[in-house]
């Protein structure tokens, strides 16, 4: 008899084995039957995985897919004679024994042998599939806690992202789930078909991002007159949200509508929360229409989430429509959402009266909770209204004299955004003195507020407080602390914290080690930074790219440009380019020391990569050239832009180039740029650019001024003529060059570069 399998997590017997009937349909000659059977679809097990393969990788390989009954793939499995079907029962027993002993390579190899034999009917039982799937889940890192179908499946560690899981086991798990579902559909005699098996497939497939398998299992449940419970449907949505798959979410809602699957408010809420991440996407708009069609009329409790999507898309008409529907509703539960609605409206920046009206109505209807005060504090943060913040803080103190951690930190953040750093620090210090419990999230927030306040002494005091209470055990909260000390060039303080991290044996973490590498660069010890880099040789390219970018940024800040460019070359070997912020810093540093050749090579590398839009990159380079006064670099840009298409050779960038030459007192080049026709038509710049150019006309000769004035008159534009007479300083009065491109993406890039020392435009 076969020994019962033992669960991989609980250690208890999972089930007993019934007597197995003969699994081979043989003809009298002993050869396998060639009767037509459902085909089993399997993906290649030889798919390349991220990271280096080791001894735990499956030795199973095949190169051919099944084309019909009796065909054999080219397997390299640990068992012998994969084509001899009479050995399959022994291989099956070997796989079960390997699962008992947690010998994953042997179990996976036996599974490949069984599937490669292409036997008719179902050879593996439901229990076999479940045990193999559960073991692979455990080896890959587990599923999220809310997607764990039963106690036999491991739960993913808190905070672990899917990108940190072992992709080799995830790929094999997806294959097993696909095969299991195919066998269930075929309803083999050796397989028990039930809702629990399909539910297991839905949960496991959703947890690893194989949502196509999960949706297929849902449809099979519906077609088998076993409609899935709403909790099972929500599991698919959670998987889609975790993996940020808007296109698959759109397909999911098409399935919900076409097959009339039962949904709940959570299904709608989760879907809307993901759509709010990309409110301008056409996929978002089409999916939102599907949700509104299926859930018509939409419950009042879900309208605030729709309001968030339209507000982030800056759709004023829809925002007004949804807001009016909420306020006209007679459902009193809407009061509980007033704080959330106020935060959503405040984020738009022009809804001050509505926010105050919601707060007043909330006060008159029911008492506010701590959570409500946190949301209203966030709304005041967007409005940057210190008076409203003072009123909120007084109300929160009346509710509880000692503010909770979440409330105190929310007010501290909001006062900093409202340009009240003294009040922000006062609240934070009072919280540190009175609080008795801190978790990782609160400690991270404390360090972040201290970083915003640019107060390294306060950050160190908080670190000493947490250390004295034995709370410094996790690497994640320490990331903003080390980053803060490095940014402030506090070498001694950073050395003390780094030494304490080593002494306390804090676990290694990619983000923390990235900041520590920045400290070693600041302390002029790049050898230690390279040692840290070698530790993450097996991590994926994005993690290594983040590490290299951080080190290169610190090298650029400390004027170690040659070493910085060397790290940038390592980044290029990963197929990545530096961020625009880092590129901006390096370009300015190189041009300041007149290393135009290296700066130009970096620009060409960035542009050829196509990782960033062309106009923002060119605009950034023009600002760097003008700020550093590099006439050679500007002339190179002029020749380069003249050879580009209309996407680069547009009015905004040409005007920016003309302003740069005007600042460098090159009126002849300015006139050449402005008088050259663009696309066969006269070049008509915006009046604002004319004002910037006119600011430097007093340094030109009378003939040069008269020549350009004649050109303005030939354009027959009163606005341009008036702008020429009202010059504006391009450095102090500019609002940026992004409007000329008309690209929101361009404006987003400019906003991300606000922290640099370069003005956003001239």
Q: Is the pLDDT of residue 382 over 80?
A: yes
Give 370-379 pLDDT, tens digit per residue: 888 888 888 8
**Three-class SS of 104-147:** HHHHHHHHHHHHHCCCCCCCCCHHHHHHHHHHHHHHHCCECHHH
3-state DSSP call for residue 15?
strand
Q: Is the pLDDT of residue 230 over 50?
A: yes
Q: Is the pLDDT of residue 574 over 70?
A: yes
Task: Of 39-53, 165-179, 721-735, give the lowest mean pLDDT range.
Answer: 39-53
Element (H, E) at 6: strand 5-6
Q: CA-CA distances (angstroms) from residue 658 to 545, 625, 665, 699, 739?
A: 36, 12, 10, 15, 17
Within 8 A by CB and 6+ apart from 258, the residues are: none
34 confidence band (pLDDT: 50, 70, 90): very low
Q: What is the dihedral of CA 158, 163, 168, 169, to 10 degrees?
A: 30
Task: Compute φ and ψ for 649, nearest 5 degrees.
Answer: -85, 65
User: Would you give the end-to-end CA distance of the chain in angstroms?
Assistant: 84
β-sheet bridge partners, residue 5: 15
pLDDT for the residue numbered 259: 83
Q: Is the pLDDT of residue 534 over 80?
A: no
pLDDT for the residue numbered 287: 84
Q: What is the largest CA-CA distance in the chain?
A: 109
Q: Is the pLDDT of residue 592 over 80?
A: yes
Mean pLDDT of all residues in 490-507: 86
Q: Which of the two residues, 157 and 360, has the higher pLDDT score?
A: 360
Preceding peptide of 297 cis, ω within 30°: yes
Q: Is the pLDDT of residue 146 over 60?
A: no
Q: Is the pLDDT of residue 289 over 60?
A: yes
Task: Of 26-35, 200-209, 496-505, give the lowest mean pLDDT range.
Answer: 26-35
Q: CA-CA distances (angstroms) from residue 251 to 2, 212, 295, 309?
A: 44, 9, 16, 19
Q: Which of the two residues, 457 and 651, has the higher pLDDT score?
A: 457
Neighbours of 371 (CB within 10 A): 15
Q: What percent of the chain has pLDDT over 70?
A: 76
pTM: 0.56
Task: Of 342-351, 362-371, 750-759, give the lowest mean pLDDT range.
Answer: 750-759
For residue 208, give the nearest of 254, 156, 250, 255 by alpha carbon: 156
Contact predicate 629/635, CB 8 Å:
no
431 confidence band (pLDDT: 50, 70, 90): confident
**What is the Cα–Cα distance from 177 to 42, expressed in whole angstroms?**
10
Q: Is the pLDDT of residue 571 over 80?
A: no
**What is the Cα–Cα distance from 561 to 598, expressed in whole angstroms?**
10
Give 625-648 pLDDT, tens digit per residue: 888 888 888 888 888 888 877 777
Q: Is the pLDDT of residue 737 over 50?
A: no
**What is the Cα–Cα distance from 331 to 584, expressed in whole angstroms?**
53
pLDDT for the residue numbered 733: 55
Cα–chain center distance at 517: 23
Angle between helix axes 126-140 and 88-100 (nearest 10 degrees) is 40
Task: Of 96-110, 341-355, 561-575, give the lowest mean pLDDT range.
Answer: 561-575
Mean pLDDT of all residues in 642-662: 81
Q: Is the pLDDT of residue 29 over 60?
A: no
pLDDT for the residue numbered 631: 83
pLDDT for the residue numbered 121: 56
pLDDT for the residue numbered 539: 59
Q: Is the pLDDT of residue 3 over 70?
A: no
Task: Compute φ and ψ for 678, nearest 5 degrees.
Answer: -115, 115
pLDDT for the residue numbered 633: 86
pLDDT for the residue numbered 193: 52
3-state DSSP call for residue 303?
helix
538 confidence band (pLDDT: 50, 70, 90): low
Mean pLDDT of all residues in 410-414: 88
522 confidence band (pLDDT: 50, 70, 90): confident
567 confidence band (pLDDT: 50, 70, 90): confident
For residue 388, give the nearest of 367, 417, 365 by alpha carbon: 417
**What is the Cα–Cα distance from 51 to 348, expressed in whole angstroms?**
43
Q: CA-CA distances (angstroms) from residue 481 to 134, 262, 511?
A: 39, 47, 12
Q: Is the pLDDT of residue 12 over 50?
A: no
pLDDT for the residue numbered 144: 62
Give 687-733 pLDDT, tens digit per residue: 888 888 888 888 888 888 888 888 888 888 888 888 888 888 876 65
96 confidence band (pLDDT: 50, 70, 90): confident
For residue 158, give the nearest of 514, 439, 407, 356 by alpha carbon: 439
- The angle subtended at Cα 179 by Cα 176 and Cα 182, nearest 5°, is 150
Task: Of 246-260, 304-318, 428-442, 567-581, give the lowest mean pLDDT range.
Answer: 567-581
Task: Compute φ and ψ for 495, nearest 5 degrees.
Answer: -65, -40
How crowded is the C-beta side of 290, counted as CA atoms within 13 Å? 23
3-state DSSP call for residue 704?
helix
pLDDT for the residue numbered 324: 86
β-sheet bridge partners, residue 143: 155
């Amino acid at each position: 008899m076969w020994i019962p399998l033992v669960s991989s997590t609980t250690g208890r017997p999972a089930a007993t084995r019934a007597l197995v009937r003969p699994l081979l349909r043989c003809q009298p000659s002993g050869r396998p039957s060639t009767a037509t059977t459902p085909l089993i679809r399997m993906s290649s097990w030889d798919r390349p995985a991220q990271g280096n393969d080791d001894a735990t990788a499956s030795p199973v390989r095949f190169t051919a897919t099944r084309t019909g009954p009796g065909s054999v793939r080219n397997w390299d499995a640990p068992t012998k004679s994969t084509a001899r079907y009479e050995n399959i029962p022994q291989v099956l027993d070997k796989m079960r024994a390997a699962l008992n002993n947690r010998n994953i390579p042997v179990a996976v190899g036996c599974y490949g042998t069984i599937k490669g034999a292409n036997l008719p009917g179902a050879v593996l039982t439901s229990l076999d599939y479940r045990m193999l799937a559960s073991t692979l889940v455990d080896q890959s890192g587990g599923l999220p806690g809310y997607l764990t179908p039963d106690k036999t499946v491991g739960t993913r560690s808190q905070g672990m992202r899917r990108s940190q899981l072992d992709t080799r086991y995830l790929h094999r798990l997806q294959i097993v789930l696909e095969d299991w579902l195919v066998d269930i559909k075929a309803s083999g005699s050796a397989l028990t078909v039930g809702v629990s098996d399909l539910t297991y497939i839905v949960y496991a497939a959703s947890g690893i991002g194989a949502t196509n398998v999960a949706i297929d299992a849902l449809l099979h449940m519906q077609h088998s007159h076993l409609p899935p419970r709403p909790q099972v449907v929500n599991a698919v949505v959670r998987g889609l949200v975790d993996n940020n798959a808007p296109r698959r979410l759109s397909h999911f809602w098409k399935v919900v509508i076409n097959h009339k699957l039962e949904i709940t408010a959570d299904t709608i809420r989760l879907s809307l929360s993901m759509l709010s991440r990309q409110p301008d996407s056409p996929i978002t708009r089409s999916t939102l229409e599907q949700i509104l069609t299926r859930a018509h009329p939409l419950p009042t409790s879900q309208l605030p989430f729709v309001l968030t999507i339209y507000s982030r898309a800056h759709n004023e008409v829809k925002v007004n429509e949804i807001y009016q529907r909420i306020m006209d509703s007679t459902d009193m539960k809407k009061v509980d959402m007033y704080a959330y609605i106020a935060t959503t409206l405040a984020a738009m920046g022009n809804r001050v009266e509505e926010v105050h009206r919601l707060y007043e109505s909330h006060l008159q209807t029911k008492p506010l909770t701590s959570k409500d005060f946190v949301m209203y504090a966030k709304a005041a943060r967007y409005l940057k209204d210190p008076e409203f913040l003072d009123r909120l803080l007084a109300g929160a103190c009346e509710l509880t004299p000692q503010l909770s951690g979440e409330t105190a930190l929310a007010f501290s953040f909001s006062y900093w955004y409202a340009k009240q750093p003294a009040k922000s620090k006062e609240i934070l210090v009072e919280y540190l003195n009175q609080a008795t419990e801190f978790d990782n999230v609160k400690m991270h927030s404390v360090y972040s507020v201290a970083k915003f306040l640019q107060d390294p002494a306060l950050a160190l005091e908080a670190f000493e407080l947490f250390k004295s209470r034995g709370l410094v055990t996790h690497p994640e909260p320490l990331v903003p602390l080390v980053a803060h000390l490095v940014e402030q060039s506090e070498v001694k303080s950073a050395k003390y914290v780094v030494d304490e991290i080593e002494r306390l044996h804090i676990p290694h973490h990619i983000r923390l080690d990235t900041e520590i590498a920045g400290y070693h660069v600041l302390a002029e010890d790049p050898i230690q930074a390279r040692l840290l880099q070698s530790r993450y040789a097996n991590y994926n390219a994005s993690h290594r790219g983040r590490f290299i970018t951080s080190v290169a940024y610190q090298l650029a800040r400390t004027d170690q440009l040659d070493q910085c460019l060397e790290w940038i070359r390592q980044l290029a070997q990963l197929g990545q380019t530096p961020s625009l912020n880092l590129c901006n810093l390096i370009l300015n540093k190189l041009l300041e020391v007149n290393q135009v050749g290296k700066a130009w090579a970096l620009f060409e590398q960035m542009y050829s990569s196509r990782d960033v839009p062309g106009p923002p990159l060119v605009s950034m380079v023009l600002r760097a050239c003008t700020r550093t006064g590099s006439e050679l670099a500007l002339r190179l840009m002029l020749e380069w832009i003249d050879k580009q298409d209309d996407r680069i050779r547009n009015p905004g960038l040409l005007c920016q180039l003309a302003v740069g030459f005007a600042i460098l007192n090159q009126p002849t080049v300015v006139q050449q740029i402005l008088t050259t026709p663009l696309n066969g038509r006269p070049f008509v710049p915006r009046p604002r650019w004319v004002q910037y150019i006119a600011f430097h006309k007093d340094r030109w000769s009378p003939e040069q001024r008269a020549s350009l004035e004649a050109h303005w008159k030939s354009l027959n534009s009163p606005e341009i003529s008036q702008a020429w007479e009202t010059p504006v300083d391009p450095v102090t009065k500019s609002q940026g060059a992004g409007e000329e491109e008309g690209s929101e993406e361009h404006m987003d890039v400019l906003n991300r570069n606000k922290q640099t020392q370069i003005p956003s435009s001239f």
